[in-house]
Structure 1
Amino acid sequence: MSGQSDPGFTPTGTIAATKDRRRVVFATVVGTTVEWYDFFIYATAVGLVFGQLFFAPLGANSALIAFATVGVSFLFRPLGAFLAGHFGDKLGRKVVLMWTLILMGAATALIGVLPTYEAIGITAPILLVLLRILQGISAGGEWGGAVLMAVEHAPKKKRGIFGASPQIGVPLGLLLASGVMAIMTAIAPGDQFLIWGWRVPFLLSVVLILVGYYVRRKVEESPVFAELAERKEEAKMPIVQLFKKHLLLVIIAAFVFAGNNAVGYMTTGGYIQGYATNPEGALAMERGPVLWAVTGSAVTWLISTLVAGWVCDRIGRRNTYIAGWIMQLVGVFTLFPLVNTGDVGLLFAGLAILTIGLGFTYGPQAALYTELFPASIRFSGVSISYAIGAIAGGAFAPTIATAIVQATGSTEAVTWYLAGMTVLGLIATLLLRDRSGIPLGPDHEAEQSVSPIYGLAKA
């Protein structure tokens, strides 16, 4: 029964067992959590220690330079997306996910043993940036494979909630990264944190990678790709086909994510942590309470992401996004007034309000992206759209925010910058038709290739 339209069917036509689907969900959650823990532990450390240990000797702009290294990794996400998209559409989703996990873990663990500027001079920040680049390549390839494994295994009417499983890996990764860092500030307070405490969360990555690798090994390949492989219909040059036929769609989809990502990187990029705890800043708050506030906001983000996945299965991806952009805009305008009070409870409140909107503009993304692109080039489409959106959105959001505050002495312009990115995401969403429930299998390539962009008949 190779003609089934619901990817809940395997290539041989049997309905995928519930336990197999649960295993896929569990594996995507664990794997993406580990990946994003690794990615975010760097951003958290930038705001807390890297500026002092690796970049301080570079002068007065050391904080700006340190945050720029967060963005540098995004410039290499497209490379990871191109590689992962090419091999994911030719060799399968599973093999790519295994390699991205290993690459991310190795880079993170090596950061944990890296000598500081005081020990080896300029070589230290150079090596740090190189390892951050490897993290960026891995992150660029990870997301597309994870969401396709989740959504292509899902029943047609539950793609949103299944797709939210890899999405919650982001707030879970943030929760884990901030939580571990907060614990280490208690175990190794003051100078001890700068001497050795910050290294422990990076070295912990080795254990997490082993767990993630074991879990992902147990997962079956995506039924959509398995059917493509069985028919020998894998795309020969998927990236060439993607840009030839769907370039405008890639750009619009990228801006949908950019609107979410720029705002999200106020926390995941380490900006709020660094802004609130900067000893020379206006707030100069203690590290531990700020990290616990960020950890708490990761919980509200996780919950809202799951709820958004459930909601978008009922009212559609587009309607859920529109509601999310409105909520995100509210969060943007309340964030800094609450943070600037210097009260840790109000800081948490500002982040919690913000993350509700973030969840609703992130939870439906996996299902939305999967339903936008034809099966044979889907890995390339979702990965490259995501990577471009990350560059346009979060790549340099912390750097831009730091530069704005340095230039104006106020966070008011940062608020308008984030509001502008939110509106941009809303506009991009309004340009797309809702394709909830569209058949995902290779029998429906013609239907999948009809452009979802309003005003275009074909891609």
Structure 2
Amino acid sequence: MSISLELSSKAKPLDRSNIRRVVISSWIGNTIEFYDFLLYGLASALVFGKIFFPTISPLAAMLASFATFGVGFIARPLGGIFFGHMGDTLGRKITLMITLGGMGVATFLIGCLPTWDHIGVWAPILLVILRFVQGFLVGGEWGGAMLMVVESAPANRRGVLGAIPQTGGFSGQLLATGIFALVTLLPEDQLLSWGWRIPFMLSFVLVLVGLYMRRRLEETPVFKEIQQREQQNPSVAQGKTSSPVVQVLRHQWRSILLIMVLRFAESVPFFMATVFAVSYATTQLGVEKQTMLNVVMATCVLAFPMHALFGALSDKVGRRPVYIFGALCAAAMAFPFFWLLESGSFGLMVLGYILLINIAHNSINAVQPSFFTELFGPKVRYSGASIGAQLGAIVAGGFTPFVAKGLTAINHDDWTYVAAYVAVAALVAAFAAWRAPETSRRDLTQEVD
């Protein structure tokens, strides 16, 4: 699908080549972010329980492995606060250079970790520490990358251009799943000894590409305009008595809370399907690991046109209608997804993933960059969008695999409670979207009341 960069007649002329660079670089950065983060999810489901928690029962090892997955989400809001302040005061570009480089280093070091057999209890301790660092850096990455695009885009293209970098999550998933699919072809002893390390170490190469792209970017027109206003009116800058984080928490806490609730319809289905369901299908339903990885990869490929479609639609009809549609679809597909998964048929499992992920999730995910950033004024936008999204990531996404595994454990390995959990989460988010303001026509240079 071709994307037009034509501006509305009332918009100021913008540098199209710069917009394209911003979109592409944000897409690459988002790809790397999700490659690093989702790779850990796959390893948690298939490997980490055996090599970092070998002395406890298989169920306890799986729960412990998923819990370390959740630790990264606990660190996200802290990163959102720290890097949100940096991005709102020092600039978007320098902040994104730091988050991307640091995240790549943390992921590389995970691939270098000795296992339980080598250093005992220190192995899972170091794993948790690096996972925390990884999550802290991710907390400042997403908000800034999305801001770069939305603040640089023409007003009538913010939805579709903001949706394109969101496909980086699926590019990262495609890379992580594809590389992990290759290493799982190794004999199990080689996979557990050195094969699982390869995908983590390859992150270093991807980060170098991302840093090269980002260093060529300019600051966003919105941030430049705010800086010019403060230079022309020094009393405005001198009148600042609190940091952007304090300001947004004091005056726009409702928007932060709104984002947290909205994320339930996106994060719960996604992490249930891409982390928990992979583990459940391979351990409880007897589906081959390679088959499940192929199912996830097929879903990732379809995510690209779907994001462009829903992003463009949100520019026409608004953010709220698209978000409500996606949330209701996620609720409706919670139970059918597991019925199709139980079939064991590759085609039917792909169909389940298409309905839950490519239609329900993708419609929501495509709208989030523009919707979330438009909720805040320019002086606190990085902080507000980052804090809201990352707090939502904790309650809605980080512990979804852990919660889902626990729900099956108390229900004799049955998935019914898990499906109900997904449906309720999506319905709550649909209600929040219905109550939310429509933001698609807002002027991003103006403060929000």
Normalised by the size of structure 2, how large is the TM-score? 0.93
- Aligned partners of 1:47 and 1:271 also within 8 Å: yes
Alignment of 1:44-443 (within 5 A): 44-60=42-58, 61-186=60-185, 188-232=186-230, 236-268=242-274, 270-278=275-283, 281=284, 283-355=285-357, 356-409=359-412, 410-441=414-445
8 Å contact from structure 1 (residues 69, 129) kept in 2 = yes
Q: May I ask how many residue pairs the two structures share in their alignment?
A: 430
Once the two structures are superposed, residues 11-39 of structure 1 have per-residue CA deviations (whole angstroms, 9 ceiling, x without a partner) of xx972211111111100000110111001
| Aligned mates of 1:427, 1:241 — CA distance in 2 | 27
State the shift of 1:263 in Å: 1.2
| % identity of equivalent residues | 40
Q: Distance in 2 between matches of 1:179 and 1:351?
A: 17
Name the SS for the 1:362 alignment partner.
Answer: helix
Letter in 2 for 1:369: F
Measured in 2, the distance between the counterparts of 1:76 and 1:275 equals 26
CA distance in 2, matches of 1:311, 1:359: 12
> Displacement of 1:259 after TM fit?
2.3
1:369-423 Cα distance to aligned partner (Å, 9 max, x none): 1211111111111001101111110011100100011110210110000001001
Kept after mapping to 2: 8 A contact 1:332/1:418: yes
Q: CA deviation at 1:64?
A: 0.7
1:435: Cα distance to partner?
1.7
Runs of 4+ in 1 over 6 A off after TM superposition: none
Distance 1:184 1:306 in 2: 32
2:84 and 2:382 in contact (8 A); partners too? yes
Residue 4 (structure 1) aligns with: none
Write the distance in 1 (CA, Å) between the matches of 2:245 and 2:175. Answer: 35
The offset of 1:229, in angstroms, is: 1.9
For residues 436 and 163 of structure 1, the distance between their equivalents in structure 2, rounded to whole angstroms, comes to 12
For structure 1, list consecutive stretches of 5 or more residues without a partner in the other structure: 1-7, 450-459
Counterparts in 2 of 1:337 and 1:124: CA distance versus 1, 3 Å: same
Does structure 2 conserve the Cα–Cα contact (< 8 Å) formed by 1:302 and 1:359?
Answer: no
Q: How big is the shift at 1:176?
A: 1.2
Q: CA RMSD in A?
A: 1.6
Q: How far apart, in 2, do the equivalents of 1:274 and 1:51 lie?
A: 11
Contact 2:332–2:423 under 8 Å retained in 1: no
User: Deviation at 1:129?
Assistant: 0.7
Counterpart-to-counterpart distance in 2, 1:362 and 1:44: 21
Q: When the two structures are superposed, what TM-score results if normalisation uses the length of structure 1?
A: 0.91
Q: Distance between the aligned counterparts of 2:428 and 2:168, measured in 1?
A: 25
Amino acid at match of 1:323: F
Amino acid at match of 1:101: L
1:84-141 CA distance string (max 9 Å, x none): 1101100011111111101110111011111111111010011011111011101111
Is the Cα–Cα contact under 8 Å of residues 76 and 133 in structure 1 kept in the other structure? yes
1:287–1:189 Cα change, 3 Å: farther
Tell me how far apart the structure 2 counterparts of residues 289 and 201 of structure 1 sit (CA, whole Å). 19
Give the secondary-structure state (helix, strand or coil) at the position aligned to 1:204.
Answer: helix
Single out whichever of 299-308 and 153-162 deviates more from structure 2.
299-308
Deviates more, 1:305-314 or 1:328-337: 328-337
Where does the alignment leave 5 or more consecutive residues of structure 2 unmatched?
1-6, 231-235
Q: Distance in 2 between matches of 1:388 and 1:258?
A: 11
After superposing the two structures, state which structure 1 stretch, 371-380 or 302-311, moved more: 302-311
Q: CA deviation at 1:303?
A: 2.9
